[in-house]
Amino acid sequence: MFGRISRAFLSGTIILAGSAAITFTSTVTANALPRGTIELREDFDIYQRPSGTNDSPLGFHVHVDTSETRHIQGDTAILFEGAVHTATLEGDLRDGVIRNGSLSFVIHWDDQKTGIYQGDRYFDGYLRGHTVEQDHSSRTAEWWSGDNGWTATT
pLDDT tens per residue across span 98-119: 998 999 999 999 999 999 999 9
| Residue 45 pLDDT exceeds 90 | yes
Please state the rounded mean pLDDT for residues 1-17.
47
- Domain of residue 96, CATH code: 2.40.128
Structural domain boundaries, residue 79: 43-145
**Dihedral (C-alpha) 81, 84, 63, 71: value to the nearest 10 degrees?**
20
Average pLDDT along the chain: 85
Please state the rounded mean pLDDT for residues 5-11.
47
| Residue 141 pLDDT exceeds 60 | yes
Give 62's strand partners.
44, 84
Number of domain units in the chain: 2
Check if the beta carbon of residue 102 is closer than 8 Å to that of residue 120.
Answer: yes
Check if the beta carbon of residue 127 is closer than 8 Å to that of residue 150.
Answer: yes
Parallel, antiparallel, or unpaired: how do β-strands 43-50 and 136-145 relate? antiparallel
Question: Would you say residue 150 lies in a domain?
Answer: no
Most confident of 26-30, 98-102, 141-145: 141-145
